[in-house]
Chain A
Amino acid sequence: MSFDIQCIRQDFPILQQQIRGKPLVFLDSGASAQKPRAVIDAMVRCMEERYANVHRGAYFLSEAATEAYEAARGAVARFINAADPREVIFTPNSTAAINLVAHSWGRGVLRPGQAVLISEMEHHANLVPWQMLRDEGRGIELRVARVTDAGELDLEDVAAKLADGKVGLVAITHMSNVLGTVTPAERLVRMAHDAGAKILFDGSQAAVHRRVDMQALGADFYAFTGHKLYGPTGIGVLWARLEHQERMPPFLGGGDMIAMVTIDRTEWAAPPAKFEAGTPPIIEAVGLHAAVDYVSAIGMPAVEAHERRLVDHAMRRLSDIESLGLLGRAQDRGGVFAFSLDNAHPHDLATLLDRAGIAVRAGRHCAEPLHTRFGMEGGTVRASFGLYTTEGEIDYLAEALSKAREFFA
């Protein structure tokens, strides 16, 4: 299937509208992506025709809903080439997925004296849960690998921090939500495993932009979220090896995660149900299924190729703008650009761009330490691309930025 951008844009109803009298130029997909008609329709159909609670009712609708929910798990497993659908745990989002690992694996499997290694470019979702774990007095240390001035992960520093063999878990982003940097995942897996550590990737950004293959990657945990992948909010994924799931105590207790309950004690359900307490995001799972089908039909290699064109184009156009400071110049990067202008504060800039119909994010993008690292405490403006983003939209952004600079001159 060829990549027909105009055809793809027609699939997204929200892109057809005008904002403040101008065509919407949505450059905030890194925060949350827009939804194609296929996802919207699938969720509506679920509610109109196939909705009931899952895993309990012995009646047609409940069986149909259960089947749809488990089919979504299968579709996600195929999407990331997991060896077994049971490796896919549905969570509310990436943050919940990482917190699940921090709670269950961090508290149940990590031992006093061990360390967790993260990096300076983590989203707060992959930083705060580990600070919380460290601060509980369990004797677990938190180490932070440096980021180079180019915005790449400092692999020598990673190696140095793994050297004493105390790191039990490496928890690192697969693609920075600020710098766009794609980390060398396969190499990090080898480095972690050679040092006796397990490895978790925060794939919130990467899973949207690249084909991720769990069997090829060989990691231990991989977290991503539905709403950045053109699916609905309220559903995320933790991919976790079954052997790890077996060793992990449950995080939340309740219905659906049990095999047998007496008033005194409970036996846990088998993975992954053990980690899916309570009524799960059923409609959202159906939506996520439609979303992975949608991007799979286009083809992740085509999505990635389109994004590479956009990245090259944006690099050229943004570099042409006088006094625009781009955060991060990694060799391997995705469609996320954080920048500042010399004479305009990010919030003023975002307000101006909004008037031109351009949606960007301003601030520190849940990565405050990274902004501090680069001396950008006041934040940046971030433009992030989706599979519906066009080169024309990037040209329009560049034009608006030049005019904004004149506005504040």
Chain B
Amino acid sequence: MFDDLRDLYQEVILDHGRKPRNFRRLEDADRSARGDNPMCGDRLELYLKLAPDGSIADAAFQGRGCAISTASASLMTETVKGKSAGQAHALAERFRELAMTGTCPDCGTDLAEEMERLQPLSGVHEFPSRVKCATLAWHTLNAALEGAKEASSE
């Protein structure tokens, strides 16, 4: 009945949805922000620990959400560790493109390996009502890096 949904719900997504990585509170976080999708009630709190050079030393999150938003947040925290703020913003921008269109023209250049890891989420572009689920964590990341406390994926 749902075989054609395996593109959206790839095994890696179901896995990260069930067992999100870095799903914890960072007590000594330098930055944190809350992401809300008021439409569906998805909510996450993102924590960042910054290195002296401003790069992301550690990233973690807590919250509740669907498989897509949880998997996206989980994969994001894995992907942005060790990245500079500029790289993290660039990843956020490319991920948004990937989620909305299913393709990422810039992925062949730098950060290609990181984008490859996020590729399983590209299937959401066929589900307009679900794109926000995938991008909520990244909106929240941008907010945290910019020092804002809240992000909304409205």
Contacts and interface: CB of A to CB of B under 8 A. Distances in A.
Nearest to A402: B1
A347 interface: yes
B33 interface: no
Contacts of B1: 355-356, 399-400, 403
B40 A347 contact: yes
Q: Please classify how large the interface on chain A is, using the bins under 10, 10 to 19, 20 to 34, 35 or more.
A: 20 to 34
A391 to B, nearest CB: 19
Contacts of B67: 344-345, 348, 408
What's the dominant secondary structure at chain A's contact region?
Answer: helix
A371 B41 CA distance: 10
Contacts of A355: 1-2, 4-5
Contacts of B68: 347-348
Interface in B98-135: 127, 129-130, 133
Interface in A329-372: 344-348, 351-352, 355-356, 362-364, 368, 371
B5 A377 contact: no
Contacts of B85: none
Nearest to A20: B4
Interface string B43-68: 00000000000000000000011111
B2 A347 contact: no
A379 interface: yes
B9 interface: yes
Given A377-B64, A378-B64, A351 B40 contact: no
B41 A378 contact: yes
Interface residues of B, number: 21
A407 interface: yes
Interface string B1-34: 1101100110000100100000000000000000
Nearest to A368: B41
A351 B5 contact: yes
B2 A356 contact: yes
B64 A404 contact: no
A347 B66 contact: yes
B65 to A, nearest CB: 7
A368 B40 CA distance: 10
A363 B41 contact: yes
Contact of B5 (A352, A362, A399): A352
B18 to A, nearest CB: 8
A348 B2 contact: no
Contacts of A356: 1-2
B9 A362 contact: no
A348 B42 CA distance: 12
Interface in A393-409: 399-400, 403-404, 407-408
8 contacts: A346-B66, A347-B40, A348-B17, A348-B66, A356-B1, A363-B41, A378-B65, A407-B9
Given A355-B1, A364-B41, 13 more contacts: A345-B65, A345-B67, A347-B42, A347-B130, A348-B9, A351-B129, A355-B5, A362-B40, A363-B41, A377-B64, A378-B41, A378-B65, A407-B5
